[in-house]
């Protein structure tokens, strides 16, 4: 029998959730144009749309919010956050932002010009969109194992270092203002990146005079995987591992909505004082004064405290353990998954789950709709809808290698009984998989279409 991990907390506040009938859900999802982003949260029983901004804060974080200093300039909570960032990340400069994509936008708008390239293991969708909207190119170069849902590898998020070197030679270092690594690799299944890989990427980039920025939103989960899986790192604390991770980088973008255990916030940190000066000017224009950057003082305090809680090893054992428990239960029920199971989410492999639906009929979208209809579970499509591209020359659709449905687990929110319910509902959908049909897109915007697209069922 698979044992779920024991929660290292007790529950002080609860939020009731309401179950709907299957008939109600059929009508709700049809009205939403079969897009789960368009469904009201109240009409959902278990919300696995995202682990972003959905964490339960601790009593320490809530009490920190009561000492929020709402001064426009120089509020005390800025300094408290500065201390956490210095001790965990070691970067001397940072600016708060309202969330991760604002940090990306300000960094790229400051550093990129049209035609530039930004290599990474895999860019997340907002990162890619922010790069492309400036006329630059976001280039993914994860190791080949990272693109195969069934290959077992401890660090499937690693960058293909030989490819990175060849790429720099090919396009020239002058057209690469920065390189990135996303930890953990969200679009590739929440897979970790090893410390050794980060060190090598940093060495290659720096040898060519290119700075490295880490997309750090799941840095604590990545540090825990390093501790558990990278032999040379077994005896070290997650703090020591995080310190070394960031020692190889010139800066980071951070969505605090993940591993800072808060509902809103982010930051952009760096070493270079000249870059910091330029970034402050843009920040004032778009986000706010550099000591609050689009957040309230109380938000800064919650982040300052959450960053430490996320590194707590009892918490991380439970956190990674809970996601692993859901993965193990699904596997036991014979459901095709991306393996190994990631840090923040279980990813269903829609190609193997619904093999009769071709990729152009959006199997991952169909599966997400089915999970909602069957059990009021909201997941997110990470497949053709989110990641298909148009070939610039031929105009043909380039389908992504991975066609996934992500079940992101909010931090400290759902119990292990909820995990059992999710596994059993998915098994029910799997039993009836042959009855599930495909979808087509009937409306889409030019960027980030998955958020607002509308679909229709194919007969």
Among 64, 78, 85, 101, binds ligand P70 (CB under 6 A): 101
Close Cβ partners of 222 (under 8 Å, ≥ 6 residues apart): 157, 183, 184, 192, 193, 245, 343
Answer yes or no whether residue 130 interacts with ligand P70 by CB under 6 A: no
Answer yes or no whether residue 323 interacts with ligand P70 by CB under 6 A: no
- Of the pair 215, 349, the CB lying nearest ligand P70 is at 215
Answer yes or no whether residue 105 interacts with ligand P70 by CB under 6 A: no
- Residue 153's nearest CA partner among 197, 216, 92, 99 is 197
Residues 259-278 that bind ligand P70 (CB under 6 A): 266
Answer yes or no whether residue 248 interacts with ligand P70 by CB under 6 A: no
Residues 20-79 that bind ligand P70 (CB under 6 A): 49-50, 52
Answer yes or no whether residue 453 interacts with ligand P70 by CB under 6 A: no
Answer yes or no whether residue 319 interacts with ligand P70 by CB under 6 A: no
Site string for ligand P70, 372-391 (x = CB under 6 A): --------x-----------
Answer yes or no whether residue 124 interacts with ligand P70 by CB under 6 A: yes
Close Cβ partners of 14 (under 8 Å, ≥ 6 residues apart): none
In this structure, are residues 196 and 163 in contact, taking their beta carbons and an 8 Å threshold?
Answer: no
In whole angstroms, the minimum distance from the beta carbon of 110 to ligand P70 comes to: 17
Q: Which stretch binds ligand P70 (CB under 6 A): 16-24, 120-128, 276-284, 313-321?
A: 120-128
Counted residue by residue, the chain has a size of 459
Among 55, 77, 99, 121, binds ligand P70 (CB under 6 A): 99
**What is each CA distance from 2 to 148, 342, 345, 421, in whole angstroms?**
26, 18, 18, 15
DSSP 103-119: HHHHHHHHH--TT-EEE
Half-sphere exposure of 113 (CA within 13 A, CB side): 2
Answer yes or no whether residue 217 interacts with ligand P70 by CB under 6 A: yes
Close Cβ partners of 280 (under 8 Å, ≥ 6 residues apart): 95, 290
- Of the pair 323, 408, the CB lying nearest ligand P70 is at 408
- Of the pair 215, 230, the CB lying nearest ligand P70 is at 215
Burial 83-106 (b: 16+ CB within 10 A, else e): ebbeebbbbebbbbbbbbbbbbbb
Reading the block at residue 56, the tokens are 């339960």
In this structure, are residues 393 and 333 in contact, taking their beta carbons and an 8 Å threshold?
Answer: no
Query: For residues 408 and 380, what is the distance between their CA atoms, to the nearest angstrom?
Result: 8
Place of tokens 């709907």: 20
Answer yes or no whether residue 294 interacts with ligand P70 by CB under 6 A: no
Q: Which stretch binds ligand P70 (CB under 6 A): 94-102, 128-136, 167-175, 387-395?
A: 94-102
Q: Which stretch binds ligand P70 (CB under 6 A): 93-101, 170-178, 289-297, 321-329?
A: 93-101
- Of the pair 52, 61, the CB lying nearest ligand P70 is at 52
Query: For residues 17 and 56, what is the distance between their CA atoms, to the nearest angstrom?
Result: 15
Reading the block at residue 223, the tokens are 């540090």
In whole angstroms, the minimum distance from the beta carbon of 186 to ligand P70 comes to: 4
Place of tokens 């990427």: 201
Which residue number places its CB atom closest to ligand P70? 100
Residues 414-443 that bind ligand P70 (CB under 6 A): none
Report the DSSP beta bridge partners of residue 182: 215
- Of the pair 106, 328, the CB lying nearest ligand P70 is at 106
- Of the pair 168, 302, the CB lying nearest ligand P70 is at 302
- Of the pair 222, 238, the CB lying nearest ligand P70 is at 222
Among 126, 233, 365, 387, binds ligand P70 (CB under 6 A): 126
- Of the pair 49, 310, the CB lying nearest ligand P70 is at 49
Answer yes or no whether residue 410 interacts with ligand P70 by CB under 6 A: no
Number of H helices, E strands in the chain: 16, 16
Angle between helices 125-132 and 100-111 (to 10 degrees): 30
- Of the pair 168, 344, the CB lying nearest ligand P70 is at 344
Q: Which stretch binds ligand P70 (CB under 6 A): 56-64, 86-94, 98-106, 389-397?
A: 98-106
Place of tokens 């093999």: 355
Query: For residues 366 and 352, what is the distance between their CA atoms, to the nearest angstrom?
Result: 13
Sites of contact with ligand P70 (CB under 6 A): 49-50, 52, 99-101, 124, 126-127, 182, 186, 215, 217, 255, 257, 266, 380, 408
């Amino acid at each position: 029998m698979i044992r779920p991990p024991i929660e290292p907390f007790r529950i002080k506040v609860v939020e009731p959730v309401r179950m709907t009938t299957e008939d109600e859900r059929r009508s709700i999802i049809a009205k939403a144009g079969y897009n789960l982003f368009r469904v009201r949260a109240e009409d959902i029983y278990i919300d696995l749309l995202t682990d972003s901004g959905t964490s339960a804060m601790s009593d320490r974080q809530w009490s920190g919010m009561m000492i929020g200093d709402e001064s426009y300039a120089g509020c005390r909570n800025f300094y408290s956050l500065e201390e956490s960032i210095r001790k965990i990340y070691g970067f001397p400069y940072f600016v708060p932002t309202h969330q991760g994509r604002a940090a990306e936008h300000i960094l790229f708008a400051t550093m990129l010009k049209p035609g530039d390239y930004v290599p990474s293991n895999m860019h997340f969708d907002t990162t890619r969109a922010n790069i492309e909207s400036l006329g630059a190119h976001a280039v993914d170069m994860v190791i080949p194992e990272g693109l195969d849902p069934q290959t077992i590898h401890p660090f499937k998020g690693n960058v293909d270092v030989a490819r990175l070197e060849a790429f720099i030679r090919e396009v020239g270092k002058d057209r690469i203002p920065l390189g990135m690594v996303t930890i953990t690799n969200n679009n590739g299944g929440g897979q970790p990146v090893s410390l050794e890989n980060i060190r090598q990427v940093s060495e290659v980039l720096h040898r060519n005079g290119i700075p490295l920025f880490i997309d750090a939103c799941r840095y604590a989960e990545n540090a825990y995987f390093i501790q558990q899986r990278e032999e040379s790192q077994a005896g070290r604390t997650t703090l020591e591992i995080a310190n070394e991770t960031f020692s190889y980088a010139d800066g980071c973008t951070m969505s605090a909505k993940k591993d800072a255990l808060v509902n809103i916030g982010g930051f952009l940190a760096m070493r270079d004082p000249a870059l910091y000066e330029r970034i402050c000017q843009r920040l004032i224009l778009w986000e706010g004064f550099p000591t609050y950057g689009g957040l309230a003082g109380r938000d800064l305090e919650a982040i300052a405290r959450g960053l430490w809680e996320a590194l707590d090893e009892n918490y991380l054992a439970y956190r990674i353990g809970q996601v692993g428990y859901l993965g193990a239960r699904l596997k036991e029920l014979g459901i095709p998954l991306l393996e190994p199971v990631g840090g923040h989410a279980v990813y269903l492999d829609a190609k193997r789950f619904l093999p009769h639906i071709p990729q152009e009929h959006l199997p991952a979208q169909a599966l997400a709709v089915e999970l909602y209809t069957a059990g009021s579970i909201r997941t997110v499509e990470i497949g053709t809808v989110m990641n298909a591209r148009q070939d610039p020359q031929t105009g043909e659709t380039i389908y992504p290698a991975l066609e996934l449905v992500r079940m992101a687990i909010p931090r400290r929110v759902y119990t292990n009984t909820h995990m059992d319910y999710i596994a059993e509902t998915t098994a029910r959908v799997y039993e009836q998989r042959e009855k599930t049909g495909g979808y087509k897109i009937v409306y889409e915007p030019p960027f980030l279409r998955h958020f607002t697209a509308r679909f229709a069922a194919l007969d």
